[in-house]
Structure formats: C-alpha cells, structure tokens
Amino acid sequence: MNGLRKLTGLSAVLYLGFVPSARADVVSDWNLFAILAINAAGRPAGGAPFLDIATVHLAMHDAVAAIDRQFQPYSVTIAGASGSLVAAAATAAHDVLVNRFPAQAASLDSTYTDYVAAHGLSQKDPGIAVGQQAAAGIIAFRSTDGSFPSQAPPPFTGGSAPGQWRPTPSALASMATPWLATVKPFALTSPQQFRANPPPSLTSQLYTLDYNEAKDYGSLNNSKRTPEQTDLAYFWAGNYLSVWNSTLRNIVSGQKLDVDKSARLFALANMAMADAAITAWDSKLLYATWRPFTAIQFGDTAGNPGTAGDPTWQPLIVNPPYPDYTSGANNVTAAITRILRSFFGTNEMSFPVTTTVPQAVQQTRMYQRFTDAADEVVVARVFEGIHFGFADVEARKQGESVAIWVFEHFLRPAGQQ
C-alpha cells in the first residue's frame, strides 16, 4: 500500500499561578492556557476542539495586528489601536475562552489577572480595549457558524451493508459531532471545497492491498509489526490538538519569533487544522466507510476473494467513533506541517514532537523535516489498526490543499493584495 511500501482531563486550576518563562511569549502562553481549558471542558472526540483553538488564535492575531500593523486582520479592523501587545493578546484570548467555556470563567479570570500583573501591565492599558474588541469581533463572526448546536442532530449510525461504517466496540457509539461536516469553515469557501474522491471499491486492487496490510500490521494480536512500529503507533495515538500545539510552542520558542509573527503562525496553523477537520468530517459523513475492525471481521461479505475475513480480529487501539474515510489525524497533520513549510519557506527544520500517550516508550521524537512527521502519521494510523492506508493518503492530500489555500488567502503581510 501507499503508506507502508513508501515508509515501512486536566483541571482548569492547573493554569493558576502560572509564571511565564523567559523564552515564552504571550501567544504561546495563552495557547497553553487555551489547550488546558479545552481539554478540561471535555469536548467530544474528534475534530471539534480545533474550532475552539482557532477562534482563540484568530482573536489574538487580530488584536496584535491592529497595534503592530504588520499583517492583515482576519475579521476585525480596529482603527487607532494602541497599547501593549501583551495586554491586547492576553485579553483577546481570555475573552474568547470565557465566552466558549463560561463554567471556567472564575479560573480564567484569575489566570488573566495574575498574568497581567506578572507583566507589570496597568488595567488602563489601551491594549486591553483592543483585545476586547478583537475578541468581540471574532465571537460575533463565528456566532452562526453551526458549531456545537444547542439541539443535536439525529444520531448517525451508518448502515449494515458491506463497506458501510457502523458503531464499533467498546462504546458502540454513534458518530461523534456529525454537525462538524457542515460547519462554516474559517477560510475555505465551503466544507466541500476539498472533498475527497470516492474511496476505492471493495473489489479493487487498492482496497485488497490496503485491507490485507491493515489486517497484517494493525492487529492487536499476532501482528507483523516490529516493536519499533508498535511504539510509533502508540506515539501517534494521542491528542492531536495538544500534540501539535505543543509542537508549535516549541518551534516558536526555538525560532525566537516576535509576537506579531508568533500570533500569525499560531492563527494560520490552527485555522488550517480546523478547516482540515471540517473537510475530513465532510468526507466521513458523505462516504461513511467502515473501519478495518468491521471490514476484517466481515471480510467474507465484501464479494472479494482477496479479503478473507477474521471474526476474531482486533485493532491495536480502540476505534474512535466516526467513519474511516478520510483520516482526521492525517488531515490536521498535513495541514499544520504544510503551514509550517510555507511560513518558514523550507521543509528543513529540526523540531521535537512529544506524545500524550503513556504507552509509548519514546515520549519525544526529533524530526529534521516537516514532511517526516506527516509521513509517519500516514503509516502510524495503519499500525494502530484504525485506518486503511487509502484513507490516510487521501486525507494528507486534503490537509495540504487546505493549508495552501489558508496561507495564500489569509493573514498576509499588510498592503499585500
């Protein structure tokens, strides 16, 4: 298959009493606070939390851009903006987080008050009003985007015909957040803009190859994986929101970016990941293809003599509650790694990635190219037993397309047409 043949809750109170490090900047600091708040809120599995973090960072970008005037705003133009960039960015992030997570308002307020005081900022600093305006603007702009609906849509459970997704053990849950497939994107013209081509038919050569690859390398027991491949699978089995934003913080610190550039990079990356998640969910809901778990247990029903079934087959990790095609993990990974390539104008950079999965023996891996990490996620999802290779490869194409669109059309240098 494409992949292997090519390359064989935290409590909200944790961010109280934060002491900023000398190497951190306000954007990285509030990225961490935001990730902690999102994780503490218990958002549903899948791509939905990327909407939260993108909204936070677009508010911070607009606040910084209004004062610094180096880059075009996303949604809010604030005339005559002045004051501290730190005050503006911190206020923007705080106000968006309180709006999205009102149950955490007391903790967020305390964190904000301590942060402003730690930076010697006056409550009368004009940057605070700029941050408030930036937050109010993005909150209003996204208020009718269709996300987190108060009345949930009917549960989606797929079908029982060969090839159709259906809930998988152990939860046997319906599809998580099917509404994400129709949310208004941040940058794309529609969720369908980069919709995937249909998956291969159950009797095609590609399906047969990828079926047997998932069966051999993704199984919990008697797998052909090496110990190193198993460790790679666990490494990339975690919380992609946390993993990639932690990676961004490391890169921003290592590259010593100014606040305006840091704000732009975080906003571009998280906007691209959010739209990549929306893109993945559009394809997932449309095609509703079964996971390897179901496909292999019912392989004999596919009408393909090359896909022998095994009713005892189990994946290495538990299946997330949504269809296989296309892979959300590969969509967001391709999106952020492509943004990083475009932002820095190179694929070559040494950077660390740290997993959130305790089972991984190697907790931090060093990469020399952004594409190296994207390559690994393609094969890791097969090793985990939760995706077919064609779902990973197609998702990577989608994520890259999303990122190219985002970078070419949004948050460009001031004055650039």
Helix, coil or strand: residue 374: helix
Q: How far is CA 17 from CA 12, 14, 54, 109, 116, in A?
A: 12, 8, 25, 12, 12
Give residue 297's domain range.
21-147+165-409
pLDDT at 14: 33
Confidence of residue 195 (pLDDT cuts 50, 70, 90): very high
End-to-end CA gap in the chain: 42
DSSP letter for 20, please.
Answer: -
- 87: CATH: 1.10.606.20
Alpha helices, DSSP H only, in 43-194? 49-68, 85-100, 105-118, 126-141
C-alpha angle 39-44-48 in degrees, rounded to nearest 5: 85
- Please report, as a single letter, which amino acid is at residue 388: F
The angle subtended at Cα 90 by Cα 84 and Cα 95, nearest 5°, is: 125
Residue carrying structure tokens 């840091």: 262
**Residue 416 domain flag:** no
Cα angle for residues 244, 239, 315 (degrees, 5° grid): 125
The whole-number pLDDT of residue 297 equals 98
Instruction: Please indicate, yes or no, if residue 6 is contained in any of the structural domains.
Output: no
- Note whether 65 and 263 are within 8 A (CB): yes
Q: Give CA–CA dist 104/107, Å, rounded.
A: 6
Q: Is the pLDDT of residue 216 over 70?
A: yes
Instruction: Reply yes or no on whether the pLDDT at 306 is more than 80.
Output: yes
Cα–Cα distance, 53 to 45 (Å, whole number): 15
What is the distance between the alpha carbons of residues 277 and 192, in angstroms, rounded to a whole number? 12
Per the domain annotation, does 405 fall within a domain? yes
Task: Examine the pLDDT at 13 and tell me if it is beyond 70.
Answer: no
**pLDDT tens per residue across span 107-138:** 999 999 999 999 999 999 999 999 999 999 99
Q: Is residue 155 part of a domain?
A: no
Q: Is residue 153 part of a domain?
A: no
Residue 22 to residue 177: CA distance in whole angstroms: 39
* Tally of structural domains, the chain: 1
Element (H, E) at 350: strand 348-354
pLDDT recorded at residue 415? 85
pLDDT at 417 over 80: no
Q: Are 376 and 232 in contact (CB under 8 A)?
A: yes
As a whole number, mean pLDDT of residues 279-290 equals 98
Q: Is residue 158 part of a domain?
A: no
Is it the case that residue 312 has pLDDT exceeding 70? yes
Q: Examine residue 359 and state whether it is found in any structural domain, yes or no.
A: yes
pLDDT at 6 over 80: no
pLDDT tens digit string along 361-401? 999 999 999 999 999 999 999 999 999 999 999 999 999 99
CA angle (277 as vertex; 387, 294 as ends), nearest 5 = 25
Helices in 302-409 by DSSP H: which ranges? 328-344, 370-383, 389-409
Beta strands in 11-51 (DSSP E): none
With 0-12 CB in 10 A as exposed, 13-18 as middle and 19+ as buried, what is 136?
A: middle
Tokens found for residue 137: 């603007």
The yes-or-no verdict on residue 225 having pLDDT over 70 is yes
Given this model, what pLDDT does residue 15 score?
37
- β-strands 364-369, 348-354 pairing: antiparallel
Residue 184 belongs to a domain: yes
Share of the chain above pLDDT 90, in %: 93
CB 12 within 8 Å of CB 37: yes
Q: CB of 254 within 8 A of CB of 29?
A: no
